[in-house]
Structure 1
């Protein structure tokens, strides 16, 4: 990765006038040696799981099964046909049959049993994975881009005797290695698709049994074994990463690692765009990589659906129109293609000017915290772009490489959905930083996830110093891997004695806006009795306070419905009335997706409106924040003193 890209990888949460407040709040959660952690969640402990009944990947799927029952789970389609679906129960049953069949073919129900999966994204990939988890086995993904030498190395290093492949040509490739005595330990190849008898005979000649996946499932159904579920500390997957030089390294990830990572994602997004049972994910990014598999796990955990593309990236748009996904995991390269295609169609100066003009109008809404796809601009200009993705996308997640701020900013506006960016690597399962909802600025990859600490350490030879907010990115937490399979030397290079993962990437903490205070005020101003609102944060305090000006025409009637009587001035001085207004603000904050640290904890009721005449508003009726802070200095100090 280029230095100019990775120097912008991390970002210390801060915001506008409240920047010092959030800087202080982050500092209260620092660990040793300048480690920083998420302010989301409130617990001093790093997040290990989100649900008590979903602490392993086996339990994650069982939770989805419980929620969905026989609802749709895995979807696939043939050319120009609608999606067909396997239900959660069908997937669970097939996984148990396949797992039982593996046990009948000399596999062990143990985390020492490694099963290779060499296939493109499809329902059988997930069934094979779940079969392994159901009987405490470990998945080892294989993929074409590794190259034949790397595939040989992985099979031998992981002592893989069984590989599940999708198509006969991959079985042929493996048999060629066996015939050359390059992978002598391979004994069983299970093929998802039909194959000819000649291939089976070729395998017999070199001591490898070839069976169809259906035959192994049938065997398992006839010789059923009860599930042997794994524990959180058991290995779930060994993900081999392709290095620039040398052999690939097998990152060992436990069930607890994967659960912690996606639980961090859930915690960050819980108030804004929480996954639902009716969510649909389009799967086209390689399942051999953890980014795709973590996002899918979130969907399964909530009983949602995953639809697989046909296998041809050129048909992805057609697949999305047929599937109508709500969740769209992508890589920046694809976002760039979307952006370029949109602007290539604006092929005259006038069309381009109109497109840029409309995009700026929507981007202004995004900056103020409004993300929607039902504006006049959407109806007139952006609905075709949204329809090309199926018309239902509500969340895009991108990672794996730096994303262009220009592209992200435009697509957030054009698609009218939330676009999140993260940073991480296989060794921390997938992500360790993530966009915080409400911070729709670009050029960074968000704050630390609640499941890990992050610190920067000096890189003397490159003149990066942690005291300047620059250095090598280090991660520690329950999402950090257990080491490289059978590679003690590389493990020691990556993990130090204190459990810190040294990523090898350079990062910099960036100052800037995190959540505009106006966003919080715009949510609170929807409270029926409230006419004006000022939210304040103090760098030496751990919470927000607010100044509320009630609407003199509406507040008395609202108060009467709540059981309060009196004149406007009397109601403004009523402590019980103040509590009722504060409760209403918190209610609206929860509905609007505010995290606990974004909610005001105390308010002062002020009876006179902010105005141009009293110097608290600009001529365009915008709040003069420094003047408001000074004007209400005494009241703010009192709010903090009585709330400690």
Structure 2
């Protein structure tokens, strides 16, 4: 594939006297609302997919066969649409009223029924409330109560029991529709609380014979979803998004016009559908008639799923690429010859990338990178990265080894293979920078907080005008909290983060996420949490080491620790010094000043995960939870400084 790198020279255009900018290819500087005249809502996106794919496969899921294999089994576009209308009719029989006053919650892992339930909700202008798979009790009850939810569609019996037990906190709840099997005990307990429990297939059957001509399709200005924040900090906030917002967001793919997508493509779905990044991606896939295959539900089997699915399109979070990079680095560094061959191959592929040539079928690919490519199914050609920053080294490594176009989803230009920026304004957006005096960023110097206005900007937080006013100003500008700089080429570079900043005793502002991104480049670091207090003069960190890399180093350096448990390694002073010195060196190379270098670290064997509440479903640190979890260790570190 050849990407025309000369398009970089005309990618932005000064839009207004306030310094806002738009993509230069826009006609008369008019922001785009949609890519196709006949696609203004999510329902219309799926209808277009039905047409352009000629009723091809739409949703796939692995299913056990009699011979023991678990291939992907597919439903066509028409089958999905028909089932969604059957479900809409079945919901009507349960008393669901049409219109914008009705909220239906979906509480499940990614699977075909998630999409069928979503479309069924839209068919009658109802609104989806997406619940994260690992929401805590308080957050879950808050959401159900705030949105007055009467119906929850969930996958597991265990979740349903939790909802029944919380009925006193959620008086509006009337119906639970389960995707998986359940016992009579659940029905009996639910009935005592005034809740009816139904099998998903039974509701479909109920609606199959009912007339559907009276259904009212959604309008572009209708709300399609309340997407609650994952609770990184504080109480979840319900982000109000319209069909028009979601469709406008898909115009970012106009920046990727050189990447043709169609019915021959397959996308892997594993990022939570409760997160809008995944749902926006899938909406565009359906618009283009693409097939979407769902992972098996176990993130540890994601490689197996990819080998079976052989996807061509993969949305992901940076951590997945970073883990691949770290694992490959460990193998390569085990031999001088391997390292030399690999680095020369990376250099050659990087040279080709700078010339706009993206490929995975060269001689070098077949000799050096084929095994790595086959780990992801062997056909990946387009990847998007969202939710967090990614190291330039990791991004360059992935582009070279996988031979795929990889863009960051903030904004994107496939043809620009540099790794130090996130692209240009999307066709639906104008972007401007504003002063952040408390951090010393001023627009006169070409830097400031990134503000976004356009057709994809959300309408506000549900029932929370105060929080809405904190991020949406009267002129419709969304204040992102990201600090950016326009590069000489006109692309946008994120250099800092306004949110989560804290001030040390001497008045120095610290942006922990920026520091964590840099320390995360250490091969020894799996998770990192940087912490500071306003009454302290320095910062400290909790680090979860990469055990495999650590043991490899122990063997190479003959540290006599081969038979020691991981917990004992984390408590070992030699290991602590090894990792501390490495992150300090990386921090200095990464441009951190002396106040941004940690003065002490605590090594924890406890990995930050969604299940233990230390990570959000979008793989961000739950900062309040981590602070509480390691409260004693943080106190001990500061007491010694």
Matches within 5 A, 1:234-383: 234-263=222-251, 265-270=252-257, 272-346=258-332, 347-383=334-370
CA drift at 1:395: 0.2
Give the 3 Å change call, closer, same or farther, for CA 472–292 of structure 1 in structure 2. same
What whole-Å deviation, never above 9, does each CA across 1:243-278 have from its counterpart, x for those lacking one?
443311100000000000012x221112x1121111
What whole-Å deviation, never above 9, does each CA across 1:559-597 have from its counterpart, x for those lacking one?
xxxxxxxxxxxxxxxxxxxxxxxxxxxxxxxxxxxxxxx
For the residues of structure 1 that align with 2:25 and 2:395, how far apart are their CA atoms?
24
1:361 is paired with a residue whose SS is helix
On the 8 A contact 2:22/2:29 being kept in 1, the answer is no
For the residues of structure 2 that align with 1:40 and 1:417, how far apart are their CA atoms?
25
Select between 43-52 and 65-74 the one with higher mean Cα deviation: 65-74
Structure-1-length-normalised TM-score: 0.73
CA drift at 1:513: 8.7
Matches within 5 A, 1:477-556: 477-512=454-489
For the residues of structure 2 that align with 1:139 and 1:69, how far apart are their CA atoms?
28
* Aligned residue in 1 for 2:574: none
Whether 2:449 is the aligned partner of 1:472: answer yes
Which one of 15, 25, 29 corresponds to residue 40 of structure 1? 25
The runs of 4+ residues in structure 1 deviating greater than 6 Å are none
* Aligned residue in 1 for 2:539: none
On the 8 A contact 2:41/2:218 being kept in 1, the answer is yes
On the 8 A contact 1:279/1:304 being kept in 2, the answer is yes
* Aligned residue in 1 for 2:563: none
For the residues of structure 1 that align with 2:181 and 2:210, how far apart are their CA atoms?
23
How many residue pairs are counted as aligned between the two chains?
A: 482
* Aligned residue in 2 for 1:454: 431
Which one of 20, 30, 43 corresponds to residue 58 of structure 1? 43
| Unaligned residue ranges in structure 2 (runs of 5+) | 492-641
CA drift at 1:26: 3.2
Give the 3 Å change call, closer, same or farther, for CA 218–32 of structure 1 in structure 2. farther
2:372 is paired with a residue whose SS is helix
2:23 is paired with a residue whose SS is coil
What whole-Å deviation, never above 9, does each CA across 1:345-399 have from its counterpart, x for those lacking one?
2221221121111111111110111111111101111111111111111101111
CA drift at 1:413: 0.9
On the 8 A contact 1:439/1:513 being kept in 2, the answer is no
Select between 340-349 and 414-423 the one with higher mean Cα deviation: 340-349
For the residues of structure 2 that align with 1:273 and 1:388, how far apart are their CA atoms?
23
On the 8 A contact 2:12/2:424 being kept in 1, the answer is no
Which one of 73, 82, 87 corresponds to residue 58 of structure 2? 73
For the residues of structure 2 that align with 1:197 and 1:26, how far apart are their CA atoms?
61
Which one of 152, 174, 179 corresponds to residue 141 of structure 2? 152
For the residues of structure 2 that align with 1:140 and 1:158, how far apart are their CA atoms?
8
What whole-Å deviation, never above 9, does each CA across 1:406-456 have from its counterpart, x for those lacking one?
011111111111111122xxxxxxxxx22x121010021111111100111
For the residues of structure 1 that align with 2:28 and 2:52, how far apart are their CA atoms?
28
What whole-Å deviation, never above 9, does each CA across 1:185-210 have from its counterpart, x for those lacking one?
10011001111111111111100010
Select between 250-259 and 100-109 the one with higher mean Cα deviation: 100-109
On the 8 A contact 2:132/2:230 being kept in 1, the answer is no
For the residues of structure 2 that align with 1:358 and 1:336, how far apart are their CA atoms?
19
Give the 3 Å change call, closer, same or farther, for CA 513–377 of structure 1 in structure 2. farther
Higher relative contact order (CA 8 A, sep 6+): 1
CA drift at 1:41: 3.4
On the 8 A contact 1:76/1:85 being kept in 2, the answer is yes
On the 8 A contact 1:38/1:447 being kept in 2, the answer is yes
Whether 2:165 is the aligned partner of 1:176: answer yes
* Aligned residue in 2 for 1:7: none
On the 8 A contact 1:251/1:482 being kept in 2, the answer is yes
What whole-Å deviation, never above 9, does each CA across 1:435-488 have from its counterpart, x for those lacking one?
x12101002111111110011111122211111111111100000000110011
On the 8 A contact 1:39/1:450 being kept in 2, the answer is no
For the residues of structure 1 that align with 2:188 and 2:305, how far apart are their CA atoms?
38
For the residues of structure 2 that align with 1:189 and 1:43, how far apart are their CA atoms?
50
What whole-Å deviation, never above 9, does each CA across 1:481-502 have from its counterpart, x for those lacking one?
0011001111111111111111
For the residues of structure 2 that align with 1:222 and 1:173, how far apart are their CA atoms?
33
* Aligned residue in 2 for 1:555: none
For the residues of structure 1 that align with 2:48 and 2:437, how far apart are their CA atoms?
48
* Aligned residue in 2 for 1:116: 105
Q: Alpha carbon RMSD of aligned pairs, Å? A: 1.8
* Aligned residue in 2 for 1:84: 73
On the 8 A contact 1:40/1:268 being kept in 2, the answer is no
On the 8 A contact 1:69/1:89 being kept in 2, the answer is no
For the residues of structure 1 that align with 2:391 and 2:427, how far apart are their CA atoms?
25
CA drift at 1:211: 0.3
On the 8 A contact 2:267/2:293 being kept in 1, the answer is yes
On the 8 A contact 2:109/2:272 being kept in 1, the answer is yes
Structure-2-length-normalised TM-score: 0.73
1:419 is paired with a residue whose SS is strand
For the residues of structure 2 that align with 1:70 and 1:200, how far apart are their CA atoms?
38
